Structure 1
């Protein structure tokens, strides 16, 4: 039997068949038999030999034996009763056995068939102008009786016949019942009822969204979102890799969404449309078409490549998303690939395409993820700052701009020797400890591996500034300082500064010496102990700085006594004073040549005026002895002679 539903499927190609001609007048004859049925021996009759459960049978004796006792076994279970009616509650084939003890033959029988009262299955298709087409795809019963629910005459058809189109006078809601009938059987079988809301005008579906929701190996799923009229018959059609050959997929039941699975969405793209169907006259209204996107993501050396296939019908643009964020938009349907260069190796990137149609529909691809890789040699480290602090050298460098570092490796050479690896780090700073920073030249370069495992070339070599001090042999009271040139910066050194620090490292003074690599410093410090250090400043807009080693300078306490003085009251050189630096404790004694003590003082600012007990001492030679303790606690003595003059 070809049902209306099957005929609708056959119309999926869009080539309409005038199947009104398939609707023909049906045989309205029914066979509701209720005549008596005679047993095999002719001794009794039953009113029905077939019907649906529960089926009640009435037995009528026709043997003419009067009031003789007759017994019946209705279901051949060996149990006999005198009752002449019985109800069969289960489907099956039963033999009713009659027994009369005093006649020959003693038994007579008849067979009864009891059917399962299954409600018949059918579908209702709404048509324009308040018409419907009932499609009975049930093959259980011999006949079917249709009640259209509007008071019109009942229609009875044989199995396999097509129900004529029914027209309602008014648009509304109608209960439609179909009852199954077996020939030569009691008419008590199953009835099925459904309610339909008629329509006046056929409404097309709106297909709004297509999304590939799952891909696993070779199978995928596509979800469709749409808007339909629940009272219109809709069929979903599918075309493979184009829009030229649509095939029926299924009828639309859910009014908002459906999922089509077991698709090879990895290798193909699929196009869909939804047809509103008038089963009465074959009219079809198709929705706009949406096509899936077959997206492929490929990781290449230092870039990810996207390729896709889809239909360009009603194309507006394709939006490309990367890790859930907008990446770019493609405005031409002729473009089907994209190269993403903004990737970092060993990072997973996930892409998804959104195809926007001119009619407002959207198609979303499945998400495709790839792991980026690269074999490009990373850029070398070009900015390196090596700076000394005590016995440590801190090395800082600028991280590479275009590469993500996995591990930095620090290579060191001492006094021009072979470079050896002294450590590794994941930050762009390293401290090299336990060094003889005032004696040896320490040079460094940085090498690293990026996230891809690629090793960079060796970076710029930078040697920490080594400061040296020599006493100037030609000039007393001068320190001659020299230092090595710093070459760790691409911009070069702007200036060197000679810095003096106190013993605690606090800055005392700073002298800009330009680009010079040496300097002669006059020792006129008030500090007995201090340190020298070189600070280099780069030419960058935000200057970098590098410090040399420090050199500790310790001065001895110095005392000077003039060779003569003239205490004559002219205000010039009237007092014999001892001058000195770095003196913490002081004592001075003055004697005659014969050892007689004339003067003593514990204050270096208090000198001898040339008198003793208020009397002027004569011209001549005198002896002094001075004892001092400096700020570092060191003791020293000095003695000598001077001349007293009165002129």
Structure 2
């Protein structure tokens, strides 16, 4: 590897032999009128005025000086004004404009060739020409569009130096360096996958995946259908390529890629990658599904490189309303996760045409209360692109305890269980797919679990050992007070025991047969105080 230093360039870069640039009246000249800052000009005096004074302003506002050399440190356009000290002439001044520019890196295109050759093409419009140094002693001068090449002796990374040149100026602009790794053999990459999709109506896009690329190799991509058509000629920065608006006749096709050698005008070709043209659609709904999540409803869609999705949403049987456009999967925030939402999605191409439409919804439930802790549930299965029947389940309870069961019909009844929480529970459903392990959650409807203490509708205090006392069942804690009233509202019995065990007597005497009222005040496991009232019958037989 060659290492470059500014001192070496000062010693090795020759001065350019160029014509002098004359002032407007021809009384003086400079070697060049354009170069890179810092730029030094040397004035050669050409007039025939003899032994007179000649002084110079090198820019507007500068002090006048006798010096014939001046250095411009900053970029800009400057006017040199010469003033001659001679009588008898109308105009004692002469002028010349010079321009100092910023040193910029010359624009070039490198291309690797066979046998460690490097091709360099000037793409520079800033300088009049550029000089490319392959080694300390090997260089080439190029104008825009010209190409030079060089063969390195090893495969090691090499330093290539670039310098911009302006006409009439010596090499006063900065030197820039690139590291290039030549290759012994130029080889094309292999095509891993290729497909043609109709991304707009009658407009086709080629999607190409290569196993590797080198950003300094000139590649050409050819479509064969059946005659070869050159689709691309240039340099690649990624191994995944998308070529839009390609010529395509809807027939089976082949694609190949060639690594082009501009030094020798040869190419190395990949194997042909061939495919049928029976699937030209870029369907964005191949993996579509929707699911209720903690932040809304998530809708899974394929990511699209062009075009967008128009999203429409409706609530239950309402009208569809347009939502924000999307370019892939998204989460739609919803106000209540108990409500049932449905979606219509239109895939609009970059030509603003609707190519595909689809509808989706998560699994949905509708819940109606029919009795204490008993609910009718209507189940609506999910609508998506998953090509299999899922397993549907219902769930009652809360985040800490749930009761689940398989859904076998669209309408069914669920019974809330106190162990799953009280009073607030949820009724929801889910659908699980075995092939991909995806579980889709439905909306969750809030229901109230009523904590009910069981009191017999009747008891028979006749001493036969069966139902001789009134017992309570289902108290959540031992903290409870039970009061019994006659039909006229007179308190006849009170107990603070969890099971009061009233034997049907009032003050030691048997109570009359008939209907009595009870009032139970109890504490739940969460510390809530509740009251339950009702009636029962005392029967003598």
TM-score interval, normalised by the smaller of the two chains: 0.3 to 0.5
TM-score between both structures, scaled by the size of structure 1 = 0.41
Q: Which has the larger radius of gyration?
A: 1
TM-score between both structures, scaled by the size of structure 2 = 0.48
